[in-house]
Structure 1
Amino acid sequence: MEEFTDEILDYVGDPTALGPWARKGLIIGDVQSGKTQTYLGLLNKAADAGYRLIVLLAGNTESLRQQTQIRVDEGFLGKDSSRNVLRSGTGAAADRFVGVGRLNKQLTYATGMTTVVQDFLQASKDATSISVSEESPNPFIFVVKKNVHVLAALIDWTNDQPKSHGRIDLPLLLVDDESDYGSVNTGKEDDPTKTNFLIRKLLGKFSRNSYVAITATPFANILIDHNAETVNDGEVHPDLFPKDFVYGLEAPTNYVGAMKTFGTEDDVNNENVIDLHDVEPLLPLKHRQHHAIHSIPDSLRTAIRVYVVANAVRDLRGHEDKRRAMLINISRFKKVQMHLHELVKHELDVIKNALEAHAILYNEGVQNHIIDDLKSTFEAFYATAEFNWAEVLASLPSSVTEITVRTFNSDTEKLLKEQQQSAEMPKRVIAIGGDVLSRGLTLEGLMVSYYYRNVRAADTMMQMARWFGYRDEYEDLCRIWIDPGVAADYRFIADAVAELRSDLKLMRRQSLTPLDFGLSIRMHPGALLITAKNKSKSAAVEPKVISLIGRRIETSRLDSRKTTIRDNRDAAISLAETLTRTFGQSEETQRGYPRFADVPQGTVATFLDEYTAHKMDELFYGNSISKFVKNNKSAKFSSWDVVFVNGTKTVDSEESFGGVKIHPPRRTMTIGATEELLVSGKSSRLAGSDDLRKILDASLDESLNEGFKLEYEGKQIPESAIYQHLSKPTLLVYVLVPNFKDLPDKDRKKVASLEHERIVGIKLAFPGDRLDINNRDGDVRYLINTVAQQQWFVEYAGTDEDDDV
């Protein structure tokens, strides 16, 4: 976290830099992975760096805002803001140190402009007299809902602040939590949604401002039109596209996310995931708000019993004071939730009453069918736990007592606001709800989840997955009831997000910004949307990489940075080690190159993900080739040949490269206009003209050559004629010894440290005829943002001069 927050703070911008300036960025973190903890660290460091005004948009519900305010009280202010409210009869505000305040009271100098029970609308009257300037000794922080009225009140407050040339000369840090919800403009560009426009307007009030969006589902954010802007009262307000940075937080190894829960499309994980099949008759996926539900499915009864038993096991493990929860999300309608609340509460009360009245007698042989069911539940789900049934039964009466049922919806939100109460979560709760439970609200200690919803947008689905997070010491007790088709959708989303994160890593390795580097999200082959259509109106869906079949693809331009050269070398060594470990000794091509046959496409894709091509090499732009390799479902792309190309063999030229014996080729290199290394000078060729032909079997090579000579006397068979005769897609790896002898002295100095490096270049050959318009093997559908639309799908129409016949 220390490293993450330092790096992000550098991206956010220096508050002491003279303006005007405006930065916009995006932080991506997994659902329930600790994003709040990370941005609290960022806020502390931002205050230390000189930011004196911080606005935190904390979701769209009061319970979520309160939850965030409590975290800000603990991690930034060091004081319990609920004690800042005047208590009747005291005449003064009570005060209590919490969190960092208990560590060091000198850290409590920041001023909170909101409290746990008061959003800025209630607190604004008291705050209007407060003036904030760059010389203020204390930072000021607003924790507000993403609400039109609150944002308007905040803008009114800024109107009373000192201005210079019509704008406030004070660096503003605006952190937008759950930024893909409410903040993205779903209206027309000349008539944006109110929340989106007010966020832009608030930023425009400050001559120096930094907007940091935070989300676990970044699809809508990266699909914002990067050129979009709105003019209002003569002021230009650019949209919220993260033009300066997109930063992907890495979750620690103990994080339980979509991939760990459900597996991947290629490696399904059904452990602890129970298929739902009996909800539809009682509560169809498509139901109206007045749908009457008179009983709960047997699967929900089982899930409730599992939660009850799991509570007892946790108590036996010594977790009596730890919070724990169960989630039920099967309807978005309040009336249905109300009926469900009564049915679940009745089921829980029946269990409580049976345990209170019969648990002791049950041990003495008196039968009770409710406790019988609990025993069967224990044996079916937790028989391998470290406790036996007698121990669990003894713990059940006390462990079940504190369990309560609570519903979360807009009615409970309204009550919170009216009564100015804190939304403190019960220690042991069965939480029933719909959309209010879907954004940011943390169900601490969530053990059992029951989910049956008809959601067709990937980002909404991920946000509803409250069961992701940290489950140390009780992960084995967690269970999820879910429709198997929805579980498959989660696996697809996990793969799509992992692919996007791979793109972000490449963008950072190439030192590019989102304005230089087009981003994409793979489309679901069925009906699952990546994000709501009104959030992706600027995106395009296009077939991608199909033109790579039968084309010459090689890295003739290489990154000259030493770190990149060494990372690429290490990636190639890792590939070689994997191949020798899996296949043992390599075979040899007719020219004596080491070759590994039938390599799984995943192994090749992993290497391509780790390999960094030069940012000006358009054929490798945006990790498009590794995506093509990873996602292609055609049988002919499931296995590969990997060849390590040799140079001239001499007695002392042999080297061991990851266990593969090679003779590194020597290549002349010059320096291009963007400091890239150009292989083979002006010819810009990595591979020799017949390298690809010489990996064919000798008999096929001879036959092709003879046939070609008959038709084109005196001509050498061109590389373009070889692709359709390849039996498999092929990766050729060139471990190059650079030769800088032709460089002028001024350029030689730039590359002096590289003369003894091994510089890795690659060539890929996809079998097929590039003129065959019926070949759809390369068709992968992507949703791409407006930057990518300017840079992708370039027609590589030029011919290869040295291939002409």
Structure 2
Amino acid sequence: MFDSELAYFRSMITRDYGEDIAQGNGLPEGAISKIVRCGPFQHLGEPAINAIIRELESSFTVTQKRGAVITKDHRPWLAAKRPQIDFYYWNRLRKYYLETGTLPSHVLATLDSDTDEILDQCGNPRDENYGAVRGMVMGNVQSGKTTNYSALICKAADAGYRVIILLAGITNSLRSQTQERLDETFIGKVSMFGAVAQQSLPIQNYAATRRIPSYGTTRVADFSSGKDGIYFGLSGHQEPMIFITKKNKGILERLALWIEKQGETGGYDLPLLLIDDEADNASINTASDPKRTTAINGVIRQILSRFPRSSYVGYTATPFANIFIDPETTEEMETDDLFPGNFIKALDPPTNYAGSRRIFREGGDLREGMVRIIDDYRLLLPLKHKSGDTVADIPDSLRHAIRVFCITRAIRVLQGKGKAHCSMMINVSRFNAIQDQILGQVYEYLAEIKDAIAVHASLPPDEISDDVMDDLEASFTKEFDDSGLDWHGLLGVLNEGVQSIEVRTVNMRGGKLDYSLHKFDGLHVIAIGGLALSRGLTLEGLTVSYLLRNATASDTLMQMARWFGYRTGYEEYCRLYLPQMSFDHYEFVDEATEELRSEIKRMQAARRTPRDFGLKVRQSPLAIRVTAANKMRTAEKLKIAQDYSARHIEGFALPNDPVIGNNQRNAADKFLSALGDPTEKGKGFIRWSASGRDVLKLLREFRFVDHPDLSVISDTSLFEDYVQDRVTDELAEWDVVLPMRQSGDSVQFAGQDINLRSRDQGTVQRGTYRVYGSKNRVADPGDAQIGLSDAQKVAAEAAYQAEIYKKERAACSVRERPMMLVHVFGAKLRDDRVDCDDELKLDTPIVTLSFCMPETGKPAKERTYQVNAVYRQQLELYVAEEDDDSQAMMEAQDAE
């Protein structure tokens, strides 16, 4: 609302504090307020001045850390060559970001340093000896990967990369969205072939001279040579040339064929930068036919091979890509031409990013206010359904979510942001036919709301008598009663907020979200879809998300999280509605992916290589599930190497069988009794020493179910084999601990008086008792620290503060020897019993085990397992389901 005033103050702040900003230091307290209040715009009034101050503070107080990087045989070059490089395109973009406030200044400073590092890793394009470079950049879902590679493209063009290819997803809408972004940040005009007049874009105003790169694709056209395409060769222009194409076999083959013809004019001699956005989109989780993705990757490799100087950079938020986990062996993984053997860079999101850490992690500041667990969908919209099923009605929770979206639209109007984009996402089915039925139901209900508001909202509050208006007020009270907003005050803007809302399906049949056509009035939309909503596509101004999907393939589930992103000024009004099962799985995926990000920091400190990281990915719990689950379709044998270094493995799932439960309790009692007198009795625990072979013997007497680590695959488990491989050396001697309450009723177990713990949040499903329901826990949060010395606790805290490990893994990592915890507890099921289909049959006290494993110096051994029917059934839960859009995309590729 105050663009010119904000631009003036940004330039003033940059002039006075530019050096502090560049160095990552914060501004002095009150500095922004002082500059604004001493400025020339006091006539605007106090409310406007306060709004300007808040806007500037949001820009200049956001911080971002530099991400870690691991490399192999890197030779730095950028620092030495920088004085010789004219950074025209980057300086233009930097000024545009800074002066428009598009990026907070600290974030811009980090973007500058991160992309310098990536460009340095890519190699000097003017050095004919640098050859081929393969790298990867790991971001977060909806965190700004496009911004990062836009800056990289600008710097690469300045440094001397003459050919730039950007692979932008698998749909036309995503490709055109990306082309539009690059028009705005790099090309500088609306990219069109044969346009009579060039339509310049604002970035042109941030450079003294006018330069425009060449382009081989446009907003409306993917690559095509000949008619309506490009007619000149790679070497026939002065500026760098960019192609923004779909990851489509037919289109890429056309591009590869066209490139083959460029050798006659010296096109091969030009250095190439190829950026693969959503690099894991060709992974085994997102396509049922791996041969198709192999064909696409084959064309990518073919294009790269044509250029003696080429750099491939894959961008991904979910690093479980086929380059890591699809090859059968480690050797095949490392020799794959797209394997990032030269570098892997992890990007840290800025502090204003609303992502998994803030939404799903315990203690996340958005978790309580944003997330709503729903369970009324089972009859009307069951997670498992068929394309031909009838949707008779929508759940009350979805009606409530639609009302909440209408209310958030009114809130945005009240904030003066009524013409900003605003979206709601409904992702409840993988079938287009079901999405169409939902469209009709949602359209009808939204029409009821619009009609009720048009008639009643302008009346005095005490004269309103309407059921729909009552429901709206009830939804407002339920969600926003503590927000400081007033329902009566909101009534005056409700009509303006809701009348512009549209309902659309977004899938391969159509329904493009054309935000660019609504720049001035904003697109206000309820988007209903499946795969097309689940990868790459940005839902602008997303405030309400409603998710009912049976997807447990982890990268697929994370890509559905379109609600991740930046919600400055309205994040407290955003809402996410999803089942408990999905919420719990998001918690697990958050933990697993964060562990991998931390792994890059650890490897950077230890000077390890991308190959080491690739092995960690292949041996991570998430990758095991993803790979093994996919191969359940075709194989009865699995080749797996699992790494349990610095992890707490918990036996959270037990058979709901009293005979098995009694046997396991007796086995633990006998085991502890045989160890003799304890070595230590502390507050809340008793500790013994035991040999690794005795621990293995007890482990083999326990039966765990629905557990990827402890369940028996054929005649052993992954964890058992891991211990067996080390039982004669680093896992020869163990601590054995029986944790308990520090006070309470005392019972006898293994000849010891113990204060029994209680677990009262269990569930029973399909014969499996889960101690904490869908949470994969049995231990208390502090159990992993039992037995640590003061020095070890200090070391663990240091590792946690440095974000090398999460708190529990940090405690495991500093142990000198492993610890087995024998958990003895009284139990009952959750009071609501929503996730239970049976009663708890185990006699209390119940006994289970968990294992705190130290760092290992021994690599995991790869084994081939003959998979039994039980393990197969467990893993099939993690197989990604195929959307209707998946088949449509395959057909579109064939048509190309």
Compute the TM-score of the two structures, normalised by the length of structure 2: 0.59
Over residues 430-452 of structure 1, what are the superposed CA-to-partner deviations in whole Å (9 max), with x where a residue is unaligned?
A: 11100001111001111100000
The one-character-per-residue Cα deviations of 1:661-700 (angstroms, maximum 9, x if unpaired) are xxxxxxxxxxxxxxxxxxxxxxxxxxxxxxxxxxxxxxxx
* Higher percent of residues as helix: 2
Query: Paired residue for 1:772?
Result: none
Tell me: CA distance 1:266–1:477, structure 2 relative to 1, closer, same or farther (3 Å): closer
- Paired letter, 1:228: E
Aligned to 1:118: 221
Give the equivalent residue in structure 2 for 1:94.
197
Code of the residue aligned with 1:792 in structure 2: it is A
- 1:546–1:310 Cα change, 3 Å: closer
**Between 279-288 and 440-449, the greater mean CA deviation after superposition:** 279-288
Structure 1 unaligned segments of length 5 or more: list them. Answer: 87-91, 231-236, 550-595, 600-617, 646-655, 661-727, 734-761, 770-774, 783-787, 796-805
Aligned-partner Cα distance in 2 for 1:205–1:150? 17
**SS in structure 2 of the partner of residue 391 of structure 1:** helix
Which residue among 575, 584, 588 is the counterpart of 1:479? Answer: 575
User: Aligned to 1:170, which of 250, 270, 273?
Assistant: 270
SS at match of 2:147: helix
The aligned residue for residue 105 of structure 2 is none
- Kindly tell me: are residues 790 and 22 of structure 1, through their superposed partners in 2, closer, same or farther at Cα, counting changes over 3 Å? farther
What's the CA shift for 1:494? 0.6
CA distance in 2, matches of 1:456, 1:540: 22
Cα 1:598/1:7, change in 2 over 3 Å: farther
Could you tell me which of 289, 308, 332 is aligned with 1:228?
332
Question: CA separation in 2, counterparts of 1:644 and 1:492?
Answer: 30
Tell me by how many angstroms 1:456 deviates: 2.0
2:436 is aligned with 1:332: no
Q: Is the 8 A contact 2:616 2:643 kept in 1?
A: no
Match of 2:372 among 249, 274, 277: 274
What is the Cα deviation at residue 493 of structure 1? Answer: 0.6
Q: What SS is found at the alignment partner of 2:263?
A: coil
CA deviation map 1:699-732 (0-9, x unaligned): xxxxxxxxxxxxxxxxxxxxxxxxxxxxx99989
Indicate whether 1:519 and 2:616 are aligned. yes
1:128-277 alignment to 2 at 5 Å?
128-133=230-235, 136-162=237-263, 168-182=268-282, 193-220=294-321, 221-225=323-327, 227-228=331-332, 238-264=336-362, 269-277=367-375
Amino acid at match of 1:255: Y
Larger Rg, first or second structure (1 or 2): 1
Q: 1:189 to 1:164 in 2, by over 3 A?
A: farther
The CA deviation at 1:328 is 0.1
Specify which of 167, 170, 175 is matched with residue 65 of structure 1: 175
Shift of 1:533: 4.3
Q: Give the Å deviation of 1:465.
A: 0.5
Amino acid at match of 2:137: I
Does the CA-based 8 Å contact 1:731-1:764 persist in structure 2? no
Residues 488 and 27 (structure 1), Cα distance of their counterparts in 2 relative to 1, 3 Å cut: same
Q: CA, structure 1 residues 790+526, in 2 after alignment: closer, same or farther (shift >3 Å)? A: closer
Aligned 8 A contact 1:110 1:138 in 2: yes
Distance 1:659 1:283 in 2: 46
Contact 1:330 1:453 in 2 (8 A): yes
The more displaced of 268-277 and 332-341 is 268-277
Question: Against the structure 1 CA distance between its residues 525 and 326, is the aligned structure 2 distance closer, same or farther, given a 3 Å change threshold?
Answer: same
Structure 1 residues 576-624: Cα deviation after superposition (integer angstroms, max 9, x where no partner): xxxxxxxxxxxxxxxxxxxx9999xxxxxxxxxxxxxxxxxx99xxxx9
| Partner deviation per Cα, 1:751-777 (whole Å, 9 max, x = no partner) | xxxxxxxxxxx77243579xxxxx985
Partner residue in 1 for 2:860: 792
Secondary structure of the equivalent of 2:424?
A: strand
Q: How many residues align?
A: 588
Matched ranges for 1:393-472 at <5 A: 393-412=491-510, 427-472=523-568
CA offset digits 1:359-409 (Å, max 9, x no partner): 223535141111111111111111123331111011101111111111101
Q: Check 1:74–1:776 CA distance in 2 against 1; reply closer, same or farther (3 A cut).
A: same
TM-aligned CA deviation for residue 242 of structure 1: 1.4
- Per the alignment, in what secondary structure is the counterpart of residue 247 of structure 1? strand
In 2, Cα distance between the equivalents of 1:548 and 1:309? 45
Q: Counterpart amino acid of 1:211?
A: Y
Would you say 1:506 and 2:609 are equivalent positions?
A: no
Structural mapping, 1:308-319, within 5 Å = 308-319=406-417
Could you tell me whether the CA contact under 8 Å between 1:523 and 1:529 is conserved in 2?
A: no
Distance 2:314 2:278 in 1: 8
Q: Which residue of 2 aligns with 1:368?
A: 466
Pair 1:366–1:469, CA change in 2 (3 A): closer
Q: Kindly provide the CA deviation profile for residues 459-479 of structure 1, in whole angstroms up to 9, marking residues without a partner as x.
A: 000000001111111111011
Assess, with a 3 A threshold, how the Cα gap between structure 1 residues 153 and 398 changes in structure 2: closer, same or farther.
same
Structure 2 distance, partners of 1:451, 1:371, is 25
CA drift at 1:112: 1.6
Unaligned runs of 5+ in 2: 1-110, 649-681, 686-724, 738-775, 799-807, 822-847, 864-896
| Alpha-carbon distance in structure 2 between the residues aligned to 1:341 and 1:98 | 36
For 1:477, give the aligned amino acid: Y
Instruction: Report the residue type matching 1:27 in the other structure.
Output: V
Quote the Cα distance in structure 2 between the aligned partners of 1:393 and 1:318. Answer: 15
1:546 offset after TM fit, Å? 8.0
- Which range is displaced more, 24-33 or 275-284? 275-284
* SS of match in other structure, 1:168: helix
Match of 2:816 in 1: 764
Change (3 A) 1:71 1:781: farther
| RMSD between aligned residues | 4.5
Paired residue type of 1:440: G
The change in CA–CA distance for 1:488 and 1:503 in structure 2 (over 3 A counts) is same
Alignment of 1:574-613 (within 5 A): none
Cα distance in 2 for residues equivalent to 1:65 and 1:51: 22
The one-letter code sitting in structure 2 at the alignment partner of 1:60 is: I
Counterpart position of 2:640: 541
User: What is the TM-score with the length of structure 1 in the denominator?
Assistant: 0.65
Residues 504, 729 of structure 1: alpha-carbon distance in 2 compared, 3 angstrom cutoff: closer
Per-residue CA deviations over 1:494-553 (Å, capped at 9, x if unaligned) read: 11111001111122223332124532364269978798449999995345458999xxxx
What SS does structure 2 have at the residue aligned with 1:361? Answer: coil
Which of 207, 211, 215 is equivalent to 1:104? 207
Q: Relative to structure 2, which stretch is displaced further, 201-210 or 266-275?
A: 266-275
Q: Deviations over 1:232-290 (max 9, x none)?
A: xxxxx944221111111000111111121122499994432111211121122121112
CA distance in 1, matches of 2:640, 2:395: 41
* Equivalence for 2:190: 80
Find the residue that maps to 2:116 and give its secondary structure.
Answer: helix
Change (3 A) 1:484 1:657: closer
Instruction: Output the amino acid matched with 2:184.
Output: E
Alpha-carbon offset, residue 59 of structure 1 = 0.2
Matches within 5 A, 1:646-665: none
Q: Match for residue 700 of structure 1?
A: none
Q: 1:5 deviation in Å? A: 0.3
Whether the 8 Å CA contact 1:543–1:779 is kept in 2: the answer is: no
Structure-1 residue corresponding to 2:136: 26
Q: Relative to 1, partners in 2 of residues 1:542 and 1:637: Cα closer, same or farther, differing over 3 Å?
A: farther
Structure 2 counterparts to residues 665-684 of structure 1, below 5 A: none
1:694-709 to 2 correspondence within 5 Å? none
Query: Structure 1 residues 423 and 248, CA, compared in 2 at 3 Å: closer, same or farther?
Result: farther
Question: Would the alpha carbon gap of residues 438 and 729 (structure 1) be closer, same or farther in structure 2, given more than 3 Å must change?
Answer: closer
Does structure 2 retain, via aligned residues, the 8 Å contact 1:5–1:38? Answer: yes
Q: 1:388 aligns with which of 480, 486, 493?
A: 486
Q: Aligned match of 1:637 in 762, 772, 784?
A: 784
Taking the aligned partners of 2:600 and 2:363, their CA distance within structure 1 comes to 22
Question: Cα offset for 1:423?
Answer: 8.0
